[in-house]
Amino acid sequence: MGHSHGLALDHAAWSSPWRSRSVRDKGVLSLGLLVAAVSLPPVPGGVAAALVSLVLLLGPIRVGWRRLGRIMWLPLLSIAIGGATVAVSVSWDAGLRLEITQTGLITARDLTVRAIAATLAMFTLACSTPMIDLFSALRRAHVPAPLVEIASLIYRFAFGLLESAGAIHEAQEARLGYANRRAAMRSASMGVSLLFLRSWDRARRLEDGLAGRGYEDTLQTLDPVRVRSTAFVAGGTALLTVLIGGSIAWELLR
Amino acid sequence: MSHRQLAASGLEVAFGHRRVLRGVDLEIPAGRRLALLGANGSGKTTLLRTLAGTGRPTCGEVLVDGKAVDYSRAGLRKHRQVVQLVAQNPDDQLFAADVFRDVSFGPMNLGLPEAEVAERVARALQVLSIEDLAERPIHELSYGQRKRVAIAGALAMQPCAILLDEPTAGLDPQGVDEMVAALDGLLREHTTIVLATHDVDFALWWADSIGVLVDGCLQHGAPAEVLSDAGLVASARLRQPMVLQVAARLGLASGQVRDVNSLVDSVRTGLAGVGFVA
């Protein structure tokens, strides 16, 4: 299996020691860090929120530097582009003029810090919670069941689809299907149509298989028991209180 | 778990003008092992699907304890608590993100209380020795592991009979051993097992009886008896099991030969009969 951004995130979530914790407990901590990241002054509040998230990701959530790098490069690239766009101002007064102002730089710095802190805060939840647990939480939050079911099926079969697409591409490439632009266009279009037919056939066979297991109108399954810990929530709340209080005190004492 | 007898009477299935099954009669006593053999396209999967109620016969009946299957929604719901089908490709029936949730799907559909569902899931995983996979994502499992999870999903319905379509196909030798261990687990639960396979050697030593499908017709009997019939084996595009070929070349009676051990025993008995002590 490859190691793209999405798959690295999925591996991290399934292998995290925090996977068995309840979404509620992790959500309180992650949401608190997110709120701190976007509402506190970027320095020191945003920086502190980012550092706390980073310590959690590399510590108890056990993502590891390399995997974190694979997960973070895409959001970091996007944040860098956004920051650069804010730092540079464009004016048309005497023709096209690009300039970097002090105000622009400060705004870009604040935006970048907040965006990185907010992304890391969200990853504390995403890297410790498999997608399916999030879907279960959505179901419990009364999000319409058909929507959650469709999202779950897309998540489950996205991996099969990627595998099929990879196998088709490999087989075409081995027979010089991508030797030139014209062949590549033809191979790609045939690959997509084949993928569609395979998906259709698989959906039909799956429907048959599920009917044999008593499927009627809902894909209901039993959720595994997750650990709910008052101590964890209290610890998280204390951490957030220190973070927010410390940041406000810094501002007042400055 | 109650144990009930599954049978078919005059079963015919046609797809358009093509008749896949022609008057199949079959009786599978509770707790027995039946292996279905036949060439590709001979109707093995169709027979399993029809017995499971997934496909409907054009003519004839599937019977449970002598009563014909009712194809109404309620009737099929009842039938699926008696007979479960495990597809050849596990991805045709696994849909949930992790093993625990997938195995719980059937019992949840029965409307059982959550505690009982959890108990059934734990039991099914234990019988198949895959408790360690419970929290694993299905997309990260090997093909053999997914096959065993698919069986666990069927077993959690606590059926009297499980029908398996080519359970050993695509598995490496260790995967086959693990599958055999899984089947042993089902047998300890006194579950009737019907499986379709191309593996004649496996069918000979594993099954209590063997059915061979040729041109939509089923012929069945004791394993050694059926597989010693060279004409039948050839017409089904199969080959005779290796141990039966060796037994035939040595002039031994094939009735007792099922695997290498029983072949060696037969040879020893033969040698002892002429005064040779090995």
Model confidence pLDDT, tens digit, residues B227-239: 999 999 999 999 9
Please name which of B239, B246, B241, B278 lies closest in space to residue B263, comparing C-alpha atoms: B246
* Residues A153, B77: C-beta atoms closer than 8 Å: no
Residue A6 confidence (pLDDT): 65
Other beta carbons within 10 angstroms of residue A218's beta carbon come to 11
- ipTM, interface predicted TM-score of the complex: 0.79
Considering only the beta carbons, identify the residue of A19, A153, A216 that sits closest to B95: A153
Q: How far is B87 from chain A (nearest CA, A)?
A: 7
Q: Indicate the pLDDT class of residue B2, thresholds 50, 70 and 90.
A: low
Task: Identify the three-state secondary structure at position B221.
Answer: strand
Rounded Cα distance between B95 and B138, Å, is 9
* Residues A224, B106: C-beta atoms closer than 8 Å: no
Q: How far is A251 from chain B (nearest CA, A)?
A: 46
β-strand partners of B62 = B8
Considering only the beta carbons, identify the residue of B84, B93, B97 that sits closest to A210: B93
Disruptive mutation site among B62, B79, B80, B98 for chain A (greatest number of A CBs within 10 Å): B98
Query: Residue B1 pLDDT > 60, yes or no?
Result: no
Q: How far is B30 from chain A (nearest CA, A)?
A: 21
Rounded Cα distance between A177 and B196, Å, is 38
* Residues B92, A202: C-beta atoms closer than 8 Å: yes
Provide the percentage of residues in chain B whose pLDDT is more than 70. 98
Considering only the beta carbons, identify the residue of A152, A159, A213 that sits closest to B139: A159
Give the relative orientation of helices B143-155 and B114-127 as an angle to the nearest 10 degrees: 130
Kindly list the domain boundaries of chain A, sorted by start residue.
Answer: 5-129+227-253, 137-212
Please name the residue of chain A whose CA is at the shortest distance from the CA of residue B96.
A156
What residues contact B40, with CB distance under 8 A and at least 6 apart? none
Q: How far is A163 from chain B (nearest CA, A)?
A: 10
**Whether the Cβ atoms of residue A184 and residue A178 lie closer than 8 Å to each other:** yes
Average pLDDT over residues B198-219: 94
Residue B276 confidence (pLDDT): 65
CATH 3.40.50.300 fits B6-233, yes or no: yes
Question: DSSP string of A8-39?
Answer: HHHHHHHH-GGGGB-HHHHHHHHHHHHHHHHH
Long-range contacts of A52-56 (CB under 8 A, 24+ apart): A52/A239, A52/A243, A53/A117, A53/A120, A53/A121, A53/A123, A53/A124, A54/A120, A56/A29, A56/A124
Rounded Cα distance between B3 and A77, Å, is 63
Among the residue ranges B205-214, B249-258, B267-276, the one predicted with the least confidence is B267-276
Q: How far is A159 from chain B (nearest CA, A)?
A: 7
**Tens-digit pLDDT profile for residues B23-45:** 999 999 888 999 999 999 999 99
Other beta carbons within 10 angstroms of residue A64's beta carbon come to 15
- Residue-wise pLDDT tens for chain A (254 aa)? 444 566 899 999 999 999 999 999 999 999 999 999 999 999 889 999 999 999 999 999 999 999 999 999 999 999 999 999 999 888 887 788 888 888 999 999 999 999 999 999 999 999 999 999 999 999 999 999 999 999 999 988 888 888 889 999 999 988 888 989 999 999 999 999 999 999 999 888 998 889 888 888 888 899 998 989 999 999 999 999 999 999 989 888 87
Please name which of B119, B157, B193, B159 lies closest in space to residue B3, comparing C-alpha atoms: B159
β-strand partners of B64 = B6, B67
* Residues B84, A216: C-beta atoms closer than 8 Å: no
Residue B148 confidence (pLDDT): 94
From chain A, which residues contact B within 8 Å (Cβ)? 1, 10, 14, 19-20, 130-132, 152-153, 155-156, 159-160, 202, 205-206, 208-216, 219-224
* Residues A206, B98: C-beta atoms closer than 8 Å: no
Please name the residue of chain A whose CA is at the shortest distance from the CA of residue B155.
A213
The tokens of A100 are what? 């970097």
Please name the residue of chain A whose CA is at the shortest distance from the CA of residue B91.
A206
Residue A1 confidence (pLDDT): 43
Considering only the beta carbons, identify the residue of B93, B117, B140 that sits closest to A222: B117
Task: Identify the three-state secondary structure at position B28.
Answer: strand
- Sequence letter at residue A174: A
Query: Residue B170 pLDDT > 90, yes or no?
Result: no
Considering only the beta carbons, identify the residue of A132, A212, A224 that sits closest to B85: A212
Please name the residue of chain B whose CA is at the shortest distance from the CA of residue A161.
B139
Kindly list the domain boundaries of chain B, sorted by start residue.
Answer: 6-233, 241-278
Residue A5 confidence (pLDDT): 60
* Residues B104, A206: C-beta atoms closer than 8 Å: no
Disruptive mutation site among B51, B109, B142 for chain A (greatest number of A CBs within 10 Å): B109
Query: Residue B274 pLDDT > 80, yes or no?
Result: no
Q: How far is A173 from chain B (nearest CA, A)?
A: 25
Report chain A residues whose CB lies below 8 A from the CB of B117. 222
Report chain B residues whose CB lies below 8 A from the CB of A153. 95
- Helix (H) or strand (E) run with residue B11 in it: strand B6-15
* Residues B108, A224: C-beta atoms closer than 8 Å: no
**Whether the Cβ atoms of residue B116 and residue A206 lie closer than 8 Å to each other:** no
* Residues A222, B121: C-beta atoms closer than 8 Å: yes
The tokens of B222 are what? 């004791």
Report chain A residues whose CB lies below 8 A from the CB of B93. 206, 209-210, 212-213
Strands B161-165, B209-214: pairing kind:
unpaired
Report chain A residues whose CB lies below 8 A from the CB of B84. 212-213
Tell me the pLDDT of chain B averaged across its residues: 91
Please name which of B76, B97, B203 lies closest in space to residue B149, comparing C-alpha atoms: B97
* Residues A206, B121: C-beta atoms closer than 8 Å: no
